[in-house]
Amino acid sequence: MRRGQKTSAQQMVLKVRQIEVRIAQGKSLAPACEEAEISAQSDNCWRKE
């Protein structure tokens, strides 16, 4: 996602699920977040919601 863009709730859920799938496939968090085009910090915040 580009910086400063608002992300809808549906997009958040989709990205978090993509990251969960990649982690289940054996990747670590940082590369999984890079592939989903978000920061690890955003992933952490979205999971709290």
Identify residue 1 by its one-letter amino acid code: M
Distance from C-alpha of 2 to C-alpha of 13, rounded to nearest angstrom: 17
Distance from C-alpha of 49 to C-alpha of 24, rounded to nearest angstrom: 21
Could you list the residue range(s) of the whole structural domain that residue 41 is in? 9-48
Give the tens place of pLDDT for each residue, 5-49: 777 889 999 999 999 999 999 999 999 999 999 999 998 998 888
Task: Indicate whether 4 belongs to any domain.
Answer: no
Task: Indicate whether 3 belongs to any domain.
Answer: no
pLDDT at 1: 55
CB 21 within 8 A of CB 35: no
Confidence tier at 3 by pLDDT (50, 70, 90): low
pLDDT at 2: 61
pLDDT at 15: 93
Q: Tokens standing for 6?
A: 């608002």
Task: Indicate whether 19 belongs to any domain.
Answer: yes
Task: Indicate whether 24 belongs to any domain.
Answer: yes
- Kindly report the pTM of this predicted structure: 0.79
Domain tally, the chain: 1
Task: Indicate whether 2 belongs to any domain.
Answer: no
Task: Indicate whether 34 belongs to any domain.
Answer: yes
